[in-house]
Structure 1
Amino acid sequence: MTDTRVVHPALKTRATELFGVDHPVVQTGMGNVSDARLTAATANAGGLGILAAGLLSYDELVTAIDEIQAATDKPFGVNVRANQPDVHKRIDLMISAGVKVASFALAPKQDLIAKCKDAGLVVMPSIGAVRHAEKVASWGADAVIVQGGEGGGHTGQVPTSLLLPQVTDAVDLVVIGAGGFFDGRGLVSALAYGADGIAMGTRFMLTSDSPVAQEVKDVYLSKSVNDTVLTTQVDGIPQRVLRVGPIAQIEKTRPAARVLRAASNARRFQKISGARWRDMVGEGLAMRKHEDLTWSQVVMAANAPMLYRTALIDGNADAGVMATGQVVGMIDDLPSCDELVSRIVREATDVLERFGA
């Protein structure tokens, strides 16, 4: 149901030019959610779909990229963790496969950015503070996703309405706003702050193209903007999740019990994923070094993959953890990606034309 009306010229931005897409709308790389199907559906809708590769093995990443390219000829991105032991191998794969955008949840080091750029990849880290944007800009990044405190998953305290103009004033990069966006009005507001587009996680998760179980989607659709909590008790790093399932219990649990449970979940994740213990320990050491975590926080970080998988993949909302932005309370339907992107562009065009009139 692609809209045939003329898109407002203001919606052709530096982001659409840099990514080679029709609309300045990005689907973020959400672990357990942003699979090949969702990524391809977003790309075919004219936005930038990003495959979440952080929890995929290398062979699974190969298969996912093949599936995306079989489903679309449009540009897309892949989100990888800069601290993964085989990150250079993954970047080599992305280069050889012709992936357009390398997206990073953790800021990559300067040499990794240089490797990507030398091969023609667009480099786009996610950041949550002005100083982080300034750092990756000085290292040569092409774009940044700027997530404010309203956003889901790992996030900070500064709201998007303040963080976004701070960043656009500080750096000359393509800036994509994230945290609290779900419609065309939000897209126009981001452009007004100086951004070049918006990124959405929760909104794309709640589409018919998302792999999340229907019963879990129904839980999300029933929640209000007040039904989220910013907690450090999942993996030691602040993240926004729904106040359901084990969250209340986790926050009441003694620290020693949380660490024991995290160690148990690490064993479960290792068996399911096939990851080598050596690699998991290496990632933990990298997290401790680069994110200034305590040892207990490093162990707790093993919680996240299993707790998210339990809810999103297994469909058990009562036992798993459900990351979300506060925007969850503004969402009441499950459109396809094409319907969603078309609607956002139509709404943004209406707002811009009204301003012009």
Structure 2
Amino acid sequence: MSITKLLGIKYPIFQGAMAQIALDPLVSAVSNAGGLGIIGSGGMSADRLREEIRKVRSNTDKPFAVNLMLMMHNIPELVQVIVEEGVKIVTTGAGTPAPYMQTFKENGIKVIPVIPSVKIAKKMEALGADAVVAEGTEAGGHVGETTTMALLPQVASAVSIPVIGAGGIADGRGIAAAFALGAQGVQVGTRFLATVECPTHENFKQAVIQADDTSTTVTGRSIGGPVRSIKNSMIAEYLKLENEHASREELEKISLGSLRRAVFEGDTDRGSVMAGQICGLCNEITTVEEMITGMFAEAQKVMENLGKLSIVE
């Protein structure tokens, strides 16, 4: 079964569950435009998640999902809210959903883990996942090591459940490429940052629009938590301390609250502007609907043109 039929969506596109950004204004807009809006529950209390779910449901009658960062301490409470509120799709990251799979299955909830490797993709399939999101290191935020180009075809060959490609996708060419590599859909984060409905400070959006292919870097590798962001003075200071083998506590002093500073206060110099390497293609602010329809119209043309192309003369 195709991912669109499985989830009841028009376009095979997931909106990345960006912490403190993937909230009702963006999520509802994505679902209303035919994609899968995903609430990012990272940092939320159970009551806060319940409130956000109800906001989204009041603004769209289309399918949407909740993402769970499984490293959080209050996951059991969040799972309970998801069940009580009747959410039918969950994506997961930063851990295994194994402890909650029975609950999800008993309540008819589709489970789609975000994975960085073939090994974990196989484990998630064996666990009963309905699909997986294979995310390459080009993505913004928390990342693995393998590029999308290398990861996606290997995962698609290794599992029989649908695979969603993520990392470095911001236009129709990226969508067509993901399908060529074996995906049934894509997950997009960075491109959604440059939309009218994205609830970030205008400075954050402008930082993404002004960035190019070399504007991002990864911090946190030394402490096992690599994160891709746009370079600024805070990131430079963090990397300097990492190179000097600073302790986790010293590094956390710099980064504590940095995402909130960037997202809500617009401090793009001392805040964390999490974004992917594909920033250079995000050069204008559009509505979510314009973005999604435009990307898939382009993808269709690319695939049609490829059908006319002879690779071997």
Instruction: Report the TM-score, using the length of structure 2 for normalisation.
Output: 0.92
Structure 2 residue 249 is matched with structure 1 residue 259 = yes
Where does residue 59 of structure 1 map in the other structure? 47
Where does residue 268 of structure 2 map in the other structure? 317
Helix, strand or coil for the counterpart of 1:313? helix
Helix, strand or coil for the counterpart of 2:134? strand
Aligned residues of 2:140 and 2:274 also touching (Cα < 8 A):
yes
Task: Evaluate the alpha carbon distance shift between residue 261 and residue 127 of structure 1 in structure 2; reply closer, same or farther with a 3 A threshold.
Answer: closer
Q: 1:351 is aligned with what amino acid?
A: V
Q: 2:285 is aligned with what amino acid?
A: L
Between 318-327 and 248-257, report the one with greater CA deviation. Answer: 248-257
Q: 1:331 is aligned with what amino acid?
A: C
Residue-by-residue CA offset, 1:92-133 (whole Å, 9 max, x unaligned): 221232212111112324231222122111101111111110
Q: 1:338 is aligned with what amino acid?
A: E
What does 1:288-303 correspond to in 2, within 5 Å? 303=255
Residue-by-residue CA offset, 1:32-83 (whole Å, 9 max, x unaligned): 1101110000000000010001111111111101100000000000011223
Partners of 1:237 and 1:224 in 2: CA distance: 24
Structure of higher RCO (CA pairs closer than 8 Å, 6+ residues apart): 1
Residue-by-residue CA offset, 1:229-260 (whole Å, 9 max, x unaligned): 12226964122111113111111125457624
Structure 2 residue 82 is matched with structure 1 residue 98 = no
Where does residue 337 of structure 1 map in the other structure? 288
Q: 2:240 is aligned with what amino acid?
A: K
> Alignment partner for residue 106 of structure 2, among 91, 111, 118?
118
Aligned residues of 2:219 and 2:238 also touching (Cα < 8 A):
no
Partners of 1:190 and 1:261 in 2: CA distance: 36
Give 1:179 shift. 0.5
Gaps of 5+ in 1: 1-12, 266-302
Aligned residues of 1:250 and 1:258 also touching (Cα < 8 A):
no
Instruction: Report the TM-score, using the length of structure 1 for normalisation.
Output: 0.81
Structure 2 residue 310 is matched with structure 1 residue 348 = no
Residue-by-residue CA offset, 1:250-292 (whole Å, 9 max, x unaligned): 1112545762462x57xxxxxxxxxxxxxxxxxxxxxxxxxxx
Where does residue 236 of structure 2 map in the other structure? 248
Helix, strand or coil for the counterpart of 2:66? strand
Aligned residues of 1:33 and 1:210 also touching (Cα < 8 A):
yes
Q: 1:121 is aligned with what amino acid?
A: I
Task: Evaluate the alpha carbon distance shift between residue 342 and residue 235 of structure 1 in structure 2; reply closer, same or farther with a 3 A threshold.
Answer: farther
Task: Evaluate the alpha carbon distance shift between residue 250 and residue 86 of structure 1 in structure 2; reply closer, same or farther with a 3 A threshold.
Answer: closer
Q: 1:259 is aligned with what amino acid?
A: E
Partners of 2:238 and 2:134 in 1: CA distance: 29
Give 1:88 shift. 2.4
Where does residue 82 of structure 1 map in the other structure? 70
Partners of 1:204 and 1:158 in 2: CA distance: 23
Helix, strand or coil for the counterpart of 1:162? helix
> Alignment partner for residue 223 of structure 1, among 172, 186, 211?
211
Where does residue 38 of structure 1 map in the other structure? 26
> Alignment partner for residue 212 of structure 1, among 183, 200, 219?
200
Where does residue 220 of structure 2 map in the other structure? 232
Aligned residues of 1:26 and 1:47 also touching (Cα < 8 A):
yes
Aligned residues of 1:223 and 1:329 also touching (Cα < 8 A):
yes
Partners of 1:255 and 1:157 in 2: CA distance: 21
Task: Evaluate the alpha carbon distance shift between residue 188 and residue 233 of structure 1 in structure 2; reply closer, same or farther with a 3 A threshold.
Answer: closer
Helix, strand or coil for the counterpart of 2:70? coil
> Alignment partner for residue 193 of structure 1, among 181, 198, 214?
181
Helix, strand or coil for the counterpart of 2:39? strand
Partners of 1:109 and 1:46 in 2: CA distance: 27
Task: Evaluate the alpha carbon distance shift between residue 333 and residue 59 of structure 1 in structure 2; reply closer, same or farther with a 3 A threshold.
Answer: same
Where does residue 141 of structure 1 map in the other structure? 129
Where does residue 281 of structure 1 map in the other structure? none
Partners of 1:247 and 1:85 in 2: CA distance: 27
Aligned residues of 2:20 and 2:42 also touching (Cα < 8 A):
no
Residue-by-residue CA offset, 1:173-200 (whole Å, 9 max, x unaligned): 1111000101112111111111110001
Aligned residues of 1:212 and 1:313 also touching (Cα < 8 A):
yes
Where does residue 177 of structure 1 map in the other structure? 165
- Count of equivalent residues: 306
Partners of 2:65 and 2:183 in 1: CA distance: 19
